[in-house]
Structure formats: structure tokens, C-alpha cells
Chain A
Amino acid sequence: MNTLFTPALALLQDSMLDNMRQGVTHPDLSKFLIIAALLFAVGVAGVLTRRNIIVIFMSIELILNAANLNFIAFSRYLQETGGVNAVAGQVFTVFIIVVAAAEAAIGLGLVIALYRNRETIFVDKIDLLKW
């Protein structure tokens, strides 16, 4: 049994573990992308599961930040590989932050108007348009 697994284990240690150690001590673009993907998924889970509309808005901010992280990581990557307009990602991020601020202002205004009329901030109680 042991002899059967030894070559496989050796291969694992040689390639995969080395790769992982390299990835941990020298994070590259893909690590940033993975962190952004995880942040995005956490935000999506928050939007889909929570009832409190304010927390849903906060989860949307989390999603937008994950997208920003992707933009900045690719911008840095393009800078080092000699991209033509490498700072375009950073410019785009500025616009995303502007839109997020406008969205938060309007959304929270809606929350206040809703609370004044319906006395609730739970999305499953706001079902006037539900068929």
C-alpha cells in the first residue's frame, strides 16, 4: 500500500506543495482575483439571505468593492507588462466609487421614505407589488 502511494505523494510534494508555497510567499494577480471573488460571493450571499434592507445595501457596497479590487489588480498587472493605457482600471474605479456614493444616497433616502410610510425595513414585508 505504502509503495503504491509513495510516488504519488512525492509528485504531490514536488509540484503541488511547491506551487502552493510559491503562491503563498509570492502572491501574484490570481491571488488578488481569488480574494475579490470571495468578497463578491460573500456580498451576493448577504444580498440574497438578509431581510434588513440596510444590510442588503451594505452587501452591495461589498460587491462593488470586489469589482474595484479586480480593476486595480489588473491595472497594476498591465502596468508591469507594459499595457498601453494601464491606469484605465484606476479611472474606472473612481467612477464606480462615484456611482456607489450616489446609489447609497438614493437608496437610503428610499429607506427613510419607506420607513415613514410602512414602518418596516424588512424586505419580505414590503410585498405590495408581489403578485
Chain B
Amino acid sequence: MILSGWESVFFWVFALAALVAGLLTVMARNAVHSALFLISALVSVAALFVLLGAEFIAGVQILVYVGGVMVLFLFVIMLVNVGAEEREQEELFNRPAQVTAAVCFAALLVFGLFYAINQSAPRFGANAEERAPGAAADARLRRAATGVSRISVDTQRVGGSLYRYGALPFEIASVLLLVAIVGSVLLARTSKQELAADDVDPRVVSELSAAGELTPAEIEAAAARRAHAEDVWAQSKS
């Protein structure tokens, strides 16, 4: 696997962009800036995926990460108050001793990984001469309908092998997503919503009303809503 020509130029551009954006994600004071830098890092990594011939994964990366997960992050940043950090009232990082230890550990990790990669690098390029260069490999692909580009069969093979070898993990992943949906709905409920679903211990209700978080009117309204829902359910069954 050796890139050449414009591919190598694009490799260095996107690799440096990913690294710089990743560093700025960690360093940025404003959490929204952090999220935006993380988006650019993820897009750069998606571009590296395209360079590696994994167009499907690059598309999934853009759709799921940038389109879904990062929008979720931005919403949560808006919901919680991160203003104190921004206004420089709060420290950005942990205590200096912990930061020093963490940075030393990360540097050690980089050196260890570099050492391991350099040790095994000659074996990666073992039969580089025998392998077909990129252009020849490209010429073997099927022509697209317009005739100006080639279609890689990679996505087809990923789909096939996803269902052939990964059918059980695929099903487990769908159950995991279901659990994640239910879990996040449960975690993000307010006490009023819990009350409306009749999901609260009466002692907790009395504690909450004593603390002033729930007024008696709200408790009654929730009970009325629940009674109405039970009526509708009984009518739909009869």
C-alpha cells in the first residue's frame, strides 16, 4: 500500500489537518469551539478513509459522526452551562501535577508506538515491488456509466461480508442501539415527566414537593393526565 503523486499530497494535508484539529479540540477554551474542531478532525479522517479506498466508511463517518453525534454534542453543550469556563472563572485543565503526569504518559505512549511501528515497518513494505501500483489497480476496476471514473467494488464486498461473517454482531449492535435509546430517554427525563408516567416512589414525591421542586398543582395535573391516558387505553381495548 503505497500512495504516490497527488494522493501523497492529499495524505499529508488531511493528516496534518486531523492532528491540528484534534489538538485544538483538546486545547480550546469554549466547548462549542471544541466541538467544531472535532468536526473538522472527523472530516479529515473521513478524507483519509477515502484515500485508503474505504468510501463507504467515509460516508458513514460523515453521516453518523458529523451529522448525528456531533449535533447531539452541540445540543448538550447548549443545554448545560459551560459559561464559567469560557469567562475564565474556572480552570481549563486539572491540577498541574496531574496534567504533567498525563502529558508524560501520552509522550511515552507516542514513543512506544513509534518504536513498535518503526520496528515492523520494513515488513509492511516487504514485497512492494511485486504489488501493482495504484494506477494499474485502478484500471482493473469496472467503468462507471459516464465512462470518466471507475467504480470500486469495495462497498459491495463490505456489505456482503457484513451479512456473511458479521450477521450475529450486526443483530447484537441493533439490540445495543435499542438499549441506548431506552437508556438515554430514561436518563434525560425530568421529575415531572417521571411523575406523569407514574414512575416515582410516593416518598420521593413528598420529598420533592417539600423541597419546592414540585407544586401540588403539578402533582394533581400529572395524576389527571395519567388518569386520562388510562381512560383512552381502556376505551381503545373495548
Question: What are the residues of chain B within 8 A of A49 when measuring CB–CB?
Answer: 26, 93-94, 98-99, 102-103
Which size bracket describes the interface of B in this complex?
Answer: 35 or more
- Asked if B233 is an interface residue, CB under 8 A from chain A, the answer is no
A-binding segment of B50-58, B140-148, B196-204: B50-58
Is A16's beta carbon under 8 Å from chain B? Answer: no
The answer to whether residues A98 and B173 also contact, given A48-B105, A85-B165, A106-B180 and a CB cut-off of 8 A, is yes
Q: CB within 8 Å of B: which of A73-131?
A: 73, 75-77, 79-81, 85, 87-88, 90-91, 93-95, 97-106, 108-113, 115-116, 121-122, 124
- With an 8 A cutoff between CB atoms, is A11 at the interface? no
Number of A-B contacts (CB under 8 A): 258
Chain B residues with a Cβ under 8 A of chain A: 1-4, 8, 11-12, 15, 18-19, 22-23, 25-26, 31, 34-35, 38, 41-42, 45, 48-49, 52-54, 56-57, 60-61, 64-65, 68-69, 72-73, 76-77, 79-82, 85, 90-94, 98-99, 101-103, 105-107, 109-110, 113-114, 117-118, 120-121, 124-125, 127-128, 131-132, 137, 154, 157-158, 161-162, 165-166, 169, 173, 176-177, 179-181, 183-188, 190
Name 22 A/B residue pairs within 8 A (Cβ), A-sorted.
A24-B8, A26-B4, A26-B8, A27-B12, A28-B124, A35-B48, A39-B18, A39-B45, A41-B106, A48-B94, A49-B94, A50-B92, A51-B92, A58-B25, A76-B53, A91-B161, A97-B60, A102-B177, A108-B72, A108-B76, A113-B188, A121-B80
